[in-house]
Amino acid sequence: MDNPIILTGGTGWVGKNFLHELQKRINYKEFNKKVFVFASKSGNLKSSAYPKKEAINIPVYPFSTLLKKFKNTPNIRIVHTAFLRKEKLDIIGFNNYVKANKYITKTIYDLLKSSKSSKILEISSGAAFRIENDKEKTLENDPYGFLKLEEENLLNSASNCLIMRIYGLTGQFMNSANIFAFGNFLLSALKNERINIKSRNNVIRSYGFASEIAFAGIEWLISNNIISKEITLSAATNTISLYELAQKITKIYNLPEINSQIDYSLPDNKYTCELSSFRSFLSQMDVLPCDIENQIKITYNYLKNNCKE
How buried is 129 (Cβ within 10 angstroms: 0-12 exposed, 13-18 middle, 19+ buried)?
buried
Flag whether pLDDT at 1 surpasses 90: no
Within 8 A by CB and 6+ apart from 171, the residues are: 17, 209, 210, 211, 295, 298, 299, 302
Residues 6+ apart with CB under 8 A from 292: 170, 207, 238, 240, 245, 248
99 alpha-carbon distance from chain centroid: 22
Q: Which range, of 9-23, 40-54, 169-183, 218-232, averages the lowest pLDDT?
A: 218-232
Question: Quick one: pLDDT at residue 146?
Answer: 95
Q: pLDDT tens across 102-160, in order?
A: 999 999 999 999 999 899 999 999 999 999 888 777 899 999 999 999 999 999 999 88
**Domain-by-domain residue ranges, the chain?**
1-166, 167-209+235-273+288-309
Work out the percent of the chain whose per-residue pLDDT is above 90.
89
Categorise residue 28: left if φ over 0, alpha if ψ from -120 to 50, beta otherwise: alpha
Give the span between the Cα atoms of 2 and 74, in whole angstroms: 11
Distance, in Å, from the CA atom of 103 to the CA atom of 108, rounded to the nearest integer, reads 9
Q: Do domains 1-166 and 167-209+235-273+288-309 have the same CATH topology?
A: no
Give mean pLDDT, residues 185-190.
98
Q: What is the mean pLDDT of residues 159-177?
A: 95
- Tens digits of residue pLDDT in 37-58: 999 999 999 999 999 999 999 9
Domain 167-209+235-273+288-309 listed as CATH 3.40.190.10: no
The topology under which CATH files domain 1-166 is Rossmann fold (3.40.50)
Average pLDDT (172-196) is: 96
